[in-house]
Each structure stands twice: as structure tokens, then as C-alpha cells.
Amino acid sequence: MGKPTAQDMEERLAPYQELLPLIPQAAITMDKQVARLSGILNDVAHLESTAMFLAMVGPFLPPEWQFLYL
């Protein structure tokens, strides 16, 4: 767990951390709004009192329309 090797740096591997840092902007709370929300997916994490949510934003374009708006 010392200095990253040249191979680690080439692969852009993050150094090991016992705890992952919490990014406040990435956490869902009661007082934050998501702009242009187009959908929400959720699933259980099989951990006590934990669930996972994914907020989808922006317009949904079917694959055949993606190149029309470039």
C-alpha cells in the first residue's frame, strides 16, 4: 500500500482507502432538487437500511435520433 507503481498510474488506479469519501453533491437528501429529472431507478442493496437510487436527467433520445441533433 505504498506509492503507486508506474503501471498503477498508467491505469489511473485510485489508491486504496478504507473509507470512500462522501461527495455531498452525489448524495440524495430531502433538501436537494434534481434539474431535468427524467426518471428514477432504485434497488435494494441487501445491507441494513440501505438502498441504491439512480436519477436520470435530460431528454431521452432513442438511438436512431441521437445523430439528428448534432
Task: Spell out the domain ranges in the chain.
Answer: 35-70
CA 41 to chain centre: 13
Annotate 9-43 with DSSP letters as a single string: HHTTPPPP-SSPPP-GGGS--TT---TTEEEEEEE
pTM of the model: 0.37
Write the pLDDT tens digit of every residue in 30-63. Answer: 777 777 777 888 888 888 878 888 887 776 666 6
Q: Which residue has the cell 438511438?
A: 63
**20 CB-side CA count, 13 A:** 5
Q: What is the greatest pairwise CA distance in the chain? A: 50
